[in-house]
Structure 1
Amino acid sequence: MKVIYSKIAVFIALLVMVSCKNGNNTTVEEAPAPNPVKVYSADDISVKAYEYDGLKYFLNRDNDTTYVVNFWATWCLPCVEELPHFEKLNAEYKDEKVKVLLVSLDMRKMIESKLIPFLKEKELKSDVIIMTDPDSNSWIPKIDSTWSGAIPATIIYNKDKRKFYEQSFTYEELETELLSIK
């Protein structure tokens, strides 16, 4: 009889341990990034292309990281002038939970002839993707209702705060905005 009670006690202890382990202490893993529409590669550089539905993932992450998402293009002089500030921010905050994403709005026909050579020449270290959804009238207001569509434009967000900027930045301005959200 003692053996039966011992086995029952061990079974109950294991049951309690398993139920506690699977209780409120479970973590919800974030879904992986969606598959790109296409991956363009040349000169050891690859750029993933997304339509708006794929881009939404990068604009709405719900974790403990602060994201700095910059919309730019190689043909936009103010965009190109501010890219070093995003690169510096990416480098300065790489050990903190800050992630910079550069979303190119270059045309598809420019990806291999202009964008990839530009990325190689500038040696950009931040993640770069390209938005290839041609229906900008549809997705621009979904990104931010106040966005006219002009670039450069930037979103800085985390799970608690979100700000949209339709402007160029100096490094100091960009860092100040990051710290106000972080």
Structure 2
Amino acid sequence: MRKAGGRTRVGSGFLIAILMVFAVPLTGRGEPRAGRRDLPRVEKIRVADLKEILRKDSGKVVLVNAWATWCKPCQDEIPGLLKLRKAFRGKPFRLIFLSADDADDLEKKVRPALKKFKVDFPSYLMNDTSDQAFISGMSSEWNGALPTSFLYDRSGKLKATLVGERTYNQFEDAVTKLLEK
């Protein structure tokens, strides 16, 4: 600030700084908007990205559950899968939710659905060049039906493609067998 004729003048740099502070919320950058902070983290991925995640999870049994917000059996399966995750907490096990919803539905459908189920861990949304590319890349045994779960052993090898709705006990048995190996 400078004094000029008894008045204080504000420098242009100071004005720009003030404008930027107030402009950041208007651009959507910076802190997430209220209501978004508590939504689950969902990342768009391709099959190659998922394979890299599985490689990094070497030493763990991994269950990848392909689901969608419009799939009633998928919705019915989620509480049992969350119970499974809790039951195997502290063991070398990881649950991954993989949404088959359209990428355009991420904010309006996928995140709210995961929030409804109180999913508190990172999840993913299929985003390959085509649905068929993702389906083929996941398993030759998979025709794209939902729900489908892919069970990987500790070495990252696909051990089972479980097409259709499963119960908690079925998942628990399958995971336990791989953990005991």
Q: Same fold (TM over 0.5)?
A: yes
Aligned match of 1:81: 76
1:80 & 1:101 partners in 2: Cα distance?
15
| TM-score, with structure 1 as normaliser | 0.71
Contact conserved, 1:90 with 1:126, CA < 8 A, in 2?
Answer: no
Mapping for residues 17-96 of structure 1, pairs under 5 Å: 42-45=36-39, 46-61=41-56, 63-96=58-91
In the alignment, structure 2 segments of 5+ residues that lack a partner are 1-31
Residues 27-83 of structure 1, C-alpha deviation per residue, up to 9 Å, x if partnerless? xxxxxxxxxxxxx99343221111222122234456211101100011100000000
Aligned match of 2:105: 110
- Pick the aligned partner of 1:166 from 163, 166, 170: 163
Paired residue secondary structure (1:106): coil
Cα distance, 1:118–1:62 mapped onto 2, change above 3 Å: closer
Residues 84-122 of structure 1, C-alpha deviation per residue, up to 9 Å, x if partnerless? 111001111011111100001111111111111112222
The count of corresponding residues between Structure 1 and Structure 2 is 143
Contact conserved, 1:155 with 1:165, CA < 8 A, in 2?
Answer: yes
In the alignment, structure 1 segments of 5+ residues that lack a partner are 1-39
1:170 & 1:134 partners in 2: Cα distance?
32
1:59 & 1:119 partners in 2: Cα distance?
22
| TM-score, with structure 2 as normaliser | 0.72
Taking only aligned residues, the RMSD between alpha carbons, in angstroms, comes to 2.0
